[in-house]
Amino acid sequence: MSRPIAVVAFGGNAILQAGDDGSFHTQMEKAKSTCRQMLEILHRGYEIVLVHGNGPQVGNLLLQFEKARDILPVPPLDVAVATTQGLLGHMLEIAMRTVLEEDKMQREVATVLTQVVVDPNDPAYSKPTKPIGPFYTREQAEKLERDEGWAIVEDSGRGYRRVVCSPKPIHVLPLRTIKLLVQNETVVIAGGGGGIPVSYGTRSVVGTEGVIDKDATAALLAYNLGAELFVILTGVERVCLDFGKPTERPIDLMTAAEARNWLEAGQFPPGSMGPKIEGAIEYCEKGGREAIIAHEGRVVKAMREHLCTRIVA
């Protein structure tokens, strides 16, 4: 194909933030705002694969499951991921079609329900690290730990959140389908929530517990699709060393090797910036040209003015 590919990953909080009323209308407006940011990348000549997170949404859904436990059976975690993947895919597909129509740009849009293979013996199953759901006060967190048996951690000074196991993605099952769609000028929404975690049983693919990190799955997709650009959107303009300290300093450019050294030095926490840095490193080390980490609401400035952190091989 003649047009290069960009894989763009953004969190579920780009659509549902703390303090929002959680209504479909509010989330839809946030989805449209996020999709409008993607037009800059399309206008630069890229085809796009969107990979969204689902942390707030899957956490809220699990909370609903728990509240209805007395009248309905609680489905497994992979089903919750699939449910939110469908919901957010539907929302983003409507939003993307809307902004493409506003821009008079001809593109198809497709959501791919994405199963991602993980290792059932992944060590991550013994150590929950993936934050999901809303933020809680310390008192609320202690009550949930005591009453529900949840694993809860403090999340980067923003409050307390439930954490679940996060196995490493190994293979995106519908990779060929995604590739064919992209090659035919389709904006593809795939790998939602990091993908639905599955493993191989004795005879077939089976769902398994866990929430896969969406940045890890996005990186896996990016280098398997041969993407020339990998964009990770987050809540800050640049990656910072000593984040939140008086010595905090932003980074404009770093190599994958430098990023790995700082990651190993503990500069990037596992529940926030760490997975984004790991995804960028993996993409660059496996042949990717450049990864960009930027603010989710300032993609245009990131692309035009380099208001971002660039990670290169």
**Residues with active-site annotation:** 12-13, 130, 214, 276
Closest among 45, 31, 35 to 185, alpha carbons compared: 45
Residue pointed to by tokens 């791919």: 112
Which residues fall within 8 angstroms of residue 275, CB to CB, at 6 or more apart?
213, 215, 216
Q: What is the largest CA-CA distance in the chain?
A: 57
Rg (alpha carbons) of the chain, rounded to whole number: 19
Alpha carbon 148 to chain centroid distance? 26
Contact 198, 187 (CB under 8 A): no
Token couple for 304: 């035009």
Record the tokens describing residue 232, joined without a space.
């990770």
